[in-house]
Structure 1
């Protein structure tokens, strides 16, 4: 009976003008462009630097970590800036409008390293990579924050996340399957620049469509304190004492390190372990096969069992992927089967993660009386960026440690061993840690009561 009363109270707290399917579709479409950029950089930039631009693996590894750590720091600043933004378009939407074109230009520059000598290439790589991550942050943080501002109702928020998951899957598959064949067909730097041009045009168009077709609700009608600036010191104290935000942020670090390894190290595996770079398109598609299947069942399962329980189950299942690969690492068939199983571990990232992050904002408001939607998203995004940077750094450093030399047809046995470590053994450890963290996240049980309590506090 209490649960039913809570549902009634919660329903009264939600604006009658909830986002419809068309609005959610356009929000998801915006993510299509964002994830095109993220996937191109996360999957192919390391390989582009080492095997096309001719930059050493060790230098690339350091660049990946330094740039991503810097990126993480800017995330915090961007989140604070979003929380303090006041415009007729809201808090998050104007940034999506302003930064779409700069992001399109920066991705093209990133994959256009000129032949200006070893030192010149490194300097160019640092400048263009840091430029890209600054602009990417100015787009991605508002996008993630907008999800929490469009609706406070848990099912709508989950549906928004599922829409983003559909477009995330489509854009990831598009880049994973087609980028390498297209770039190889054109050849050299020109091939990768052409792929980047496509992504640059896509992010410009989809950003405008997402801005034009979405509406912020929660920040205007439900969060009174959004009308005043919260001192950063107080906001950060509330953030770092929010236990569920801490859990989900560490989860982001682990999950995105794992994702970076599966994506960034995969092309080295198909090239030097399986013997054919073209296999990477197949492996990339198989990795997302569970997600494709999951879209037909996940929405109903989430309503019945909750985001956390489904995420925990598929995380446990994903652990068995690397174990299967160990049976015969040099077999395409065995590696493919292991990849499909491992793909279940990606489901939480694609389908639940942004909704779960935004749920921690309600917990923080309920627990500490402070709502900082932008800061919550930017700080969790810091975990994603650190994870992606750590994954990229591990690829570069371990390849360099193994004596990897870009462009060679045959690598040394130590380099081959490092490729195996990057693709099988480290991902196994990370999959276990990811599962443990998801087991610790138990906010779903409290969430209905939290929303009911927040509704009662309103004047």
Structure 2
């Protein structure tokens, strides 16, 4: 995919040949760009949540959800039948079986992740249409908020409500998927805003700095995850965790994980590039380039 992107991408916005850039000037422009600062904070917060909930879900399945009910759910949705049929087909043509984990928690967790990813991809398909109609900022904030609600609800589900847990993951994945491409599209708008304000194009440093924010968010999220497990005295040697530990795991995949997403939504109220300003920037930059 990286190779396809490299060979099929064409740069449409080329800086003027006479534009001279220095690191000092780029950094000055960067830190005076309020929309960039807001999107950097949003990026960090989003990836803190992704790392925290993504790393904690397996503990939620192994230590909180009812294993017997997970097994029943996997039977009811045809998952076990699918794996058995696949293995029958493979062995009938002389191949070895597909080695799938047999414990319900691991199988359930895998299907849970797959369901979220599939519906996230479906949600991505709605992103552009909604953004064109309502604006990137509004759709990003709205879809992120709704997806946050479905994260928070994980705390309140009883351990035998497997179907509800999966439904919540699917709905979370769908609404989060709507927001996914908008994050990066809004960062491109920030680059246009920077050019609009400074008459200098600095796309590379803006996106590079956002990647730093992404990495920082993942690092913080992973660090918070391990700190929470330590605080609630999780022990891999125990067959059954203490009630306080299980409650900490529930909090981590729900209320704790929802806090950074919610803060990101709040930050977007200060993000000034709405649909009208976005269109104004596009018109002004087009006119400026044509005049050049």
**Normalising TM by the smaller chain, what interval?**
0.7 to 0.9
Q: CA deviation at 1:229?
A: 4.3
Say which SS state the counterpart of residue 233 (structure 2) adopts: coil
Match of 2:288 in 1: 457
TM normalised by structure 1 equals 0.50
Q: Show CA shifts across 1:209-238 (max 9, x none).
A: 33233332323xxx216x654121111111
Match of 1:256 in 2: 47
Say which SS state the counterpart of residue 297 (structure 1) adopts: helix
Identify unmatched segments of 5+ residues in structure 1: 1-29, 31-206
Choose which of 139, 148, 157 in structure 2 pairs with 1:319. Answer: 148
Choose which of 1, 25, 30 in structure 2 pairs with 1:239. Answer: 30
In structure 2, relative to structure 1, the CA distance for the partners of 1:309 and 1:414 (3 Å cut) is same
Q: CA deviation at 1:256?
A: 0.8
Q: CA deviation at 1:291?
A: 2.5
Q: Which runs of 4+ in 1 moved over 4 A?
A: none
2:92 maps to 1:300: no
Match of 1:435 in 2: 265
Match of 1:157 in 2: none
Q: CA deviation at 1:381?
A: 1.5
- 8 Å CA contact 2:119–2:170 kept in 1: the answer is yes
Q: Show CA shifts across 1:59-116 (max 9, x none).
A: xxxxxxxxxxxxxxxxxxxxxxxxxxxxxxxxxxxxxxxxxxxxxxxxxxxxxxxxxx
Match of 1:343 in 2: 173
Match of 1:332 in 2: 162
User: Aligned ranges for residues 21-420 of structure 1 at < 5 Å?
Assistant: 30=1, 207-219=2-14, 223-224=15-16, 228-274=19-65, 275=67, 276-330=105-159, 331-406=161-236, 408-420=238-250
Say which SS state the counterpart of residue 288 (structure 1) adopts: helix
Quote the Cα distance in structure 1 between the aligned partners of 2:54 and 2:24.
Answer: 37
Q: CA deviation at 1:376?
A: 0.3
Choose which of 276, 279, 286 in structure 2 pairs with 1:448. Answer: 279
Q: CA deviation at 1:329?
A: 4.4
Q: CA deviation at 1:440?
A: 3.0
Quote the Cα distance in structure 1 between the aligned partners of 2:164 and 2:288.
Answer: 56
Quote the Cα distance in structure 2 between the aligned partners of 1:430 and 1:212.
Answer: 36
TM normalised by structure 2 equals 0.77
- 8 Å CA contact 2:153–2:254 kept in 1: the answer is no
Q: Show CA shifts across 1:409-440 (max 9, x none).
A: 33233332321221111122223212212333
Q: CA deviation at 1:283?
A: 1.8
In structure 2, relative to structure 1, the CA distance for the partners of 1:435 and 1:345 (3 Å cut) is farther
Q: CA deviation at 1:287?
A: 2.5
In structure 2, relative to structure 1, the CA distance for the partners of 1:391 and 1:364 (3 Å cut) is same
- 8 Å CA contact 1:283–1:339 kept in 2: the answer is yes
Quote the Cα distance in structure 2 between the aligned partners of 1:418 and 1:297.
Answer: 35
In structure 2, relative to structure 1, the CA distance for the partners of 1:375 and 1:259 (3 Å cut) is same
Deviates further, 265-274 or 324-333: 324-333
Say which SS state the counterpart of residue 156 (structure 2) adopts: coil
How big is the alpha-carbon RMSD for the aligned residues of Structure 1 and Structure 2?
A: 2.3
Say which SS state the counterpart of residue 392 (structure 1) adopts: helix
In structure 2, relative to structure 1, the CA distance for the partners of 1:296 and 1:211 (3 Å cut) is closer
Q: CA deviation at 1:304?
A: 1.8
In structure 2, relative to structure 1, the CA distance for the partners of 1:294 and 1:328 (3 Å cut) is closer
Q: CA deviation at 1:344?
A: 4.4
Q: Number of matched residues?
A: 250
- 8 Å CA contact 2:63–2:246 kept in 1: the answer is yes
**Higher RCO structure (Cα 8 Å, ≥6 apart):** 2
Q: Show CA shifts across 1:387-413 (max 9, x none).
A: 111110011111122222336433233
Quote the Cα distance in structure 1 between the aligned partners of 2:181 and 2:237.
Answer: 37
In structure 2, relative to structure 1, the CA distance for the partners of 1:327 and 1:405 (3 Å cut) is closer
- 8 Å CA contact 2:46–2:260 kept in 1: the answer is yes
